[in-house]
Amino acid sequence: MEEQIQNLKNQALAQIISSETPEDLESLRVTYLGRNGHINKIVEKIPTLELQQRAAIGRMVNDVRVAVEEALRSQYIDLTTQQKTEWFDPTVPGIIPKIGHLHLITQAIEEISEIFQRIGFVRVRYPEVEWDWFAFEALNMPKNHPARDEWETFFVDTPSHLRYGQMVLTPHTSSGQPREMQRVKVPPIRMINIAKTYRRQFDQTHAPMFHQFEGLVIDKGINITHLKGTIDHFARQFYGPGAVSRIRPFHFRFTEPSFEVDFSCVHCMGKGCKFCKSGWHEVGGAGMVHPNVLRAGGIDPKKYTGFAFGWGVERTLLLKPGVNINDIRTLYGTDLRYLKQF
């Protein structure tokens, strides 16, 4: 009996390997595995065997069944994928699958948040439609202060809040600073807030709606070198290992000292070229958090210090080599031919 089964297996495998068409293969499947096939014939005999033999024979038959099934599958693949003899044109073009496209802004936001999350920053999001208090007053900009002019703010046509003042569209992600301080309460804070922001302006480099990312770090002993370290880190990660940053004096009401942040031009590596003129590109503001802002956020400026920075996603992105877009209106275009490029 064992020998008979072994022979059956050898014979089946030999026939399968030498079969030449899928149709041959199907008839072999019926011959061996079909309801009335060779293997079932043996199975039918099992009850007639001596009791102690049955288990062993049963296992053996099952092994043969598995081996034959595998051989059939494998040969089927060989037969259907190898058409060795026919003439074949290997130069025929591929059929391109349809995949979609994510917007450049999405790609930039992803990259930016990754870079900061890897050094322990927590990504957050705060209201785009916000109270004046968070957008200005908590940031050391009292009502009617001329410094507010720079923000060209949109106001929402609703009654003012008794305590928080007018409803505005956030002109900067800095409104997330007091929000984050209120949320965390006790530092450390390492925030990265990326959001839509709005200003009353529209030209080649400004759209009324744009995106900013705001970093905020508060802890004991935070100083200017940490701000420099963080900005340098970002420059290298985003623009490449050769990129450097610099900070220059500036003024914001909510930081003291305040800085303007430049990144070395990626085209000339800081030597000066037709894109940058000076070797540097201005990207945005930064500074050490003003004690009044810490106080407004409920944090003791005697114990803690911090730094913050806020830059436009668009501006930061357009300076990246290879993007080759210099008009923000192109960036927000909805022509599919443009969108499909990225």
Partner 1 sequence: MDILIPDNWLRDFLKTKATPEKIAKCLSLAGPSVEKIEKSESILVYLIEVTTNRIDSASVYGIAREAAAILPRFKIPAALQPVKVASSQKLAGTVDYLSVKVDPVLCKRFTAILIHDVKVGPSPKHIQERLSAVGIRPINNIVDISNYLMQELGQPTHTFDYDKIKGARMVLRASKPGEKITTLDGKTHELSGDDIVIEDGGGRLVDLAGIMGGGNSAIDPHTRNVLLFVQHYNPINIRRTSMRLSHRTQAAALFEKGLDPENIELTVRRGIDLFVELAGGKPAKTIFDIYPKAYKPKVISTRVGFIEERLGTKILKKDITRYLLALGFGVRTMGNAITVSVPSFRAEDINLPEDIVEEVARIYGYHNLPSALMMGALPEKLHNSPFDFEKRIKDLEKTLGAIEVYTSSLVSKELVSLQDVSPRALKLKNPLGKESEYLRSSLAPSLVQVAKRVGEKEPFHIFEIANVYLSPGKQSLPDEKMTLGGVFFNYSWREARGIVETILRNFSIQAEFEPENSMGFLLNHRLTINVGKDNIGEFGTLEGRGLVYYEFDVESLRTFAKLIPGYQPEPKYPPQIEDITLLLPSKIYIGPVIENIRKTNNIASVELVDNYQNTVTLRVTYQDSNKTMTDKEVQTIREKILQVLDKKFGINIKD
At its nearest, how many Å lie between partner 1 and the CB of residue 55?
Answer: 21
Using an 8 Å Cβ cutoff, are 135 and 193 in contact?
no
**239 touching partner 1, by CB under 8 A:** no
Burial 303-335 (b: 16+ CB within 10 A, else e): ebbbbbbbbbbbbbbbbbeeeeeeebeebeeee
In the complex with partner 1, the residue whose CB is nearer, 13 or 184, is 184
Tokens of 217: 């770090």
Q: What is the CA radius of gyration of the chain?
A: 35
In the complex with partner 1, the residue whose CB is nearer, 225 or 324, is 225
Peptide bond preceding 146: is omega within 30 degrees of 0, i.e. cis? no
**226 touching partner 1, by CB under 8 A:** yes
At its nearest, how many Å lie between partner 1 and the CB of residue 131?
Answer: 7
At its nearest, how many Å lie between partner 1 and the CB of residue 154?
Answer: 5
**258 touching partner 1, by CB under 8 A:** yes
At its nearest, how many Å lie between partner 1 and the CB of residue 123?
Answer: 5
Contacting partner 1 within 143-182 (CB under 8 A): 144, 146-147, 150, 154-159, 161-162, 167, 169
At its nearest, how many Å lie between partner 1 and the CB of residue 65?
Answer: 14
At its nearest, how many Å lie between partner 1 and the CB of residue 27?
Answer: 22
Contacts of 232 (CB under 8 A, 6+ apart): 244, 245
Sign (positive or negative) of CA dihedral 164, 170, 171, 175: positive
At its nearest, how many Å lie between partner 1 and the CB of residue 56?
Answer: 24
**267 touching partner 1, by CB under 8 A:** no
Using an 8 Å Cβ cutoff, are 308 and 227 in contact?
no
Contacting partner 1 within 16-55 (CB under 8 A): none
Q: Is 213 helix (H, G, I), strand (E, B) or coil?
A: strand
Which one of the spans 11-19, 23-31, 85-93, 242-250 is the region binding partner 1 (CB under 8 A)? 242-250
* CA 178 to each of CA 183, 199, 278, 290, 304: distance values in angstroms, whole numbers, following the listed order: 9, 20, 36, 12, 15
How far apart are the C-alpha atoms of 15 and 316, rounded to whole Å? 67
**259 touching partner 1, by CB under 8 A:** yes
Contacting partner 1 within 202-221 (CB under 8 A): 202, 207-209, 217, 219-221
Helix or strand run (H / E) with residue 63: helix 51-81
Size of the site for partner 1 (CB under 8 A): 83
Sign (positive or negative) of CA dihedral 190, 196, 198, 201: positive
Neighbours of 244 (CB within 10 A): 15
At its nearest, how many Å lie between partner 1 and the CB of residue 155?
Answer: 4
Q: Give the position of tokens 């309460």.
A: 185
Using an 8 Å Cβ cutoff, are 214 and 252 in contact?
no
**264 touching partner 1, by CB under 8 A:** no
Helix or strand run (H / E) with residue 64: helix 51-81
Interface characters, 93-112, with partner 1 (x: CB under 8 A): -----xxxxxx-xx---x--
In the complex with partner 1, the residue whose CB is nearer, 78 or 271, is 271
In the complex with partner 1, the residue whose CB is nearer, 6 or 106, is 106
Contacting partner 1 within 275-334 (CB under 8 A): 277, 288, 290-291, 305, 332, 334
Contacting partner 1 within 117-146 (CB under 8 A): 119-120, 122-125, 127-131, 144, 146
At its nearest, how many Å lie between partner 1 and the CB of residue 102?
Answer: 5
